[in-house]
Amino acid sequence: MTLQIKSLKQYKSVYKKSVKDPEGFWAEQAETFQWQKKWDTTLEWDFKEPSVKWFKGGKLNITENCLDRHLKDRGDQAAIIWEPNNPEEAAITYTYKELHAEVCKFANALRANGIKKGDRICFYMPMVPELAIGVLACARIGAIHSVVFAGFSATALADRIKDASCKMVICSDYNSRGTKNIPVKAVVDDALKQGCKSIETVIVHKNTGGKIKWNKKDKWWHEVMKRRRSTCKPATMDAEDMLFILYTSGSTGKPKGVVHTCGGYMVYTCFSFKNVFQYKEGDVYWCTADIGWITGHSYIVYGPLLAGATTMMFEGVPTYPDAGRFWQICEKHKVNQFYTAPTAIRALMAKGDEFVEGYDLSDLKVIGSVGEPINEEAWHWYNEKVGKGNAPIVDTWWQTETGGIMITPLPGITDTKPCYASYPMPGIQPVLVNAEGKEVKGNDVEGLLCIKFPWPSMIRTTYGDHERCRQVYFSAFENMYFTGDGCRRDEEGRLRIIGRVDDVINVSGHRMGTAEVENAINEHAGVIESAVVGYPHDIKGQGIFAYIIAQEGIKDNAAFEKGVRATVTKVIGPIAKPDKILIVPGLPKTRSGKIMRRLLRKIASGDASNLGDTSTLLNPEVVNAIRKAAGV
Ligand code: WT7
């Protein structure tokens, strides 16, 4: 069985060993899984390329480890409990046996529809069990899944389908979220009109049964599932074969497809799940993320199922029918571990304590936070109102690229401190470096967060563009993976993530590239140029502030802003809509033509004191004009 650390003393000794002999440590963990053939070499790596190979020569199928190997001991235990949007509707449970059967049936359906090992399949679905079944079915036959969050626009979906040349899209008809019934299939129809030539089949899961347009390539999920066998021979995968692609935003250009591979991802997600949440046999674990993000991949689907856990999936939103929904679900299903994002905590905190106070949350043992820094006020509210002082908060730092939780307290084992992700997981070697790449040692210091040794679930490449992977993560500092985050180490060695140091903003825990949002804004005919920065936002953590140079003759500012927001919604999706738009006469640029974002960030935060040195600007006079427009 995968190691579960039980005491501080053990954490310290395991950590020490894992750093002294990472290969030995991870080989020992990997032994606890079911391999079709054992690996020859535990690790081969060279960050210059970058090339990282864990468990080389090993053969496996991750779904055998998520499903088959649990059938004997926990076949009748709930694997997935699905809670629908509508609180009046009954929850649905899939036992391990049932989930295994559904995954096999759908895997057979995929094969019958021409899907082969290595093919890419795009998912564009709400939080329904079929999404989990679908991705596992891909893994069963060695197809590569690319899940696109169902809030992205048709254009964003089309870009991702094209980038990976997906052969199939799997979607639902509609998505019920709160009182809304959001069209999903219609977005896919729209995307396919944007030149997704590689798509051969669209599989449509009937979720609400609402009216949809039917096209030649469309097939119903329930039709392709008919008469399928409930067993399916798992494909033999190399440890380093691709498991999935997941797109994420960077500081430049289009989103990149982060690639994760089978063996290392399996070992690390299971190990981190068991330790960070201290999951015990019989517990009910709930992560409120969407499977469209890495949190959902690693800690709704793979990590928990690998560990034989009961994992919950929720279709709806935290505020429907009211702001007590999360807590009502926790009480109803006697949730033991609860994992959510600071933005949700802040939004619920703002609605008032009465929504949490009436519920029995005494089963909660661990409560987690992920995606962005959790501010002190939200941390205390979460601790007192939700954890009742009895459930330690795990503030988990990690990234799409890291595949799993990297820095975190271990509940009941290490201490916790508000705002601090605190301690590295076993096998994780974080370092702080200065701008020159020199390691900043000692305590009470700040630096750029890098990781100096490979770990099993790390990014292997960016799909179709390996050079971009090298450039973004491995070229800034020699022999290190660069995270893009700034970090502080306190007097006692705990780590605190300060935030991104690149042109990436974190809106409600979702990563947005400023360049990506700018490109979207610039598609509006009335826009000449734009610059986007983040600014502190009470609920979202960071909001999107757009400075726009508009075409002359715009008469109705409100209508113009509305048009800009509609354009961004069309190009990326509603999550990228600017919160604030300011029409400005110019943008502050250096002589080399670079926008001085530092100034824009300051002004956006409502503070124009200490704007620093502006003498290198080509157009210093524009600063006062922008201040005037912003009223600061
Ligand atoms: C970025 C990664 C990891 C899944 C969700 C987001 C920020 C993440 C924390 C935390 C402070 C955090 C970082 C990181 N971040 N967790 N506990 N404290 N910041 O994944 O979209 O890949 O974003 O989110 O800035 O680089 P992502």
Residue 369's identity, in one-letter code, is: S
Burial class of residue 365, CB neighbours in 10 A (0-12, 13-18, 19+): buried
Question: Hey, what are 182's tokens?
Answer: 């959001």
Token look-up 């999550």 returns: 575
Task: Name the amino acid, one letter, at 350.
Answer: A
What are the pLDDT digits (tens) for 34-44?
999 999 999 99
User: What are the structural domain ranges in the chain?
Assistant: 504-630
500 lines ligand 1 (CB under 6 A): yes
CB 173 within 8 A of CB 212: yes
- Of all protein residues, the one whose alpha carbon is nearest to atom 24 of ligand 1 is 371
Sequence-separated (6 or more) residues with CB below 8 Å from residue 602: 608, 610, 611
Spatial CB neighbours of 605, under 8 Å, sequence gap ≥ 6: 535, 536
Establish whether residue 408 lines the binding site of ligand 1, counting it when its CB lies within 6 angstroms of any ligand atom: no
pLDDT tens string 512-551: 999 999 999 999 999 999 999 999 999 999 999 999 999 9
CATH of 504-630, one of 3.30.300.30, 3.40.1190.20, 1.10.600.10, 3.40.50.620: 3.30.300.30
Is the shortest distance between the CB of 484 and ligand 1 below 6 Å?
Answer: yes
- Compute the average pLDDT of residues 216-224: 98
SS3 280: coil
Identify residue 40 by its one-letter amino acid code: D
Torsion (CA) 563, 567, 568, 571 in degrees, nearest 10: 170
At residue 593 the predicted structure's pLDDT band, cuts being 50, 70 and 90, is confident
- Specify the DSSP element, H or E, that contains 27: helix 22-30
Look up tokens 């729209």; give the residue. 190
Q: Look at residue 250 in the predicted model and tell me its pLDDT.
A: 86
615 has pLDDT over 90: no
Averaged pLDDT of the chain: 97
CA distance from start to end of the chain:
59
Query: CA-CA distance, 240 to 29, in Å (whole number)?
Result: 17
Q: On the CB side of 498, how many CA atoms lie within 13 Å of its CA?
A: 15
pLDDT at 611: 86
Q: What is the pLDDT of residue 50?
A: 98
Give the pLDDT of residue 592: 86
Say yes or no: CB of residue 506 within 6 Å of ligand 1: yes
Kindly tell me if the per-residue pLDDT of 609 is higher than 90.
Answer: no
Q: Is 373 in the pocket of ligand 1 (CB under 6 A)?
A: yes
Q: Which atom of ligand 1 is nearest to the CA of 401?
A: 22
Residue burial 42-64, b: 16+ Cβ < 10 Å; e: rest: bbeeebeebebbbbeebbbbbbb
Q: What is the pLDDT of residues 122-150, one digit of tens each?
A: 999 999 999 999 999 999 999 999 999 99
Reduced to 3 states (helix: H, G, I; strand: E, B; else coil), residue 481 is strand
Q: How large is the C-alpha radius of gyration of the chain?
A: 24
Which 8-state DSSP code applies to residue 261? E
Q: Is 294 in the pocket of ligand 1 (CB under 6 A)?
A: yes
Please tell me the predicted confidence (pLDDT) of residue 446: 97
Q: State which amino acid sits at residue 382.
A: Y
Residue 418 has a pLDDT of 97
pLDDT per residue over 416-467, tens digit each? 999 999 999 999 999 999 999 999 999 999 999 999 999 999 999 999 999 9
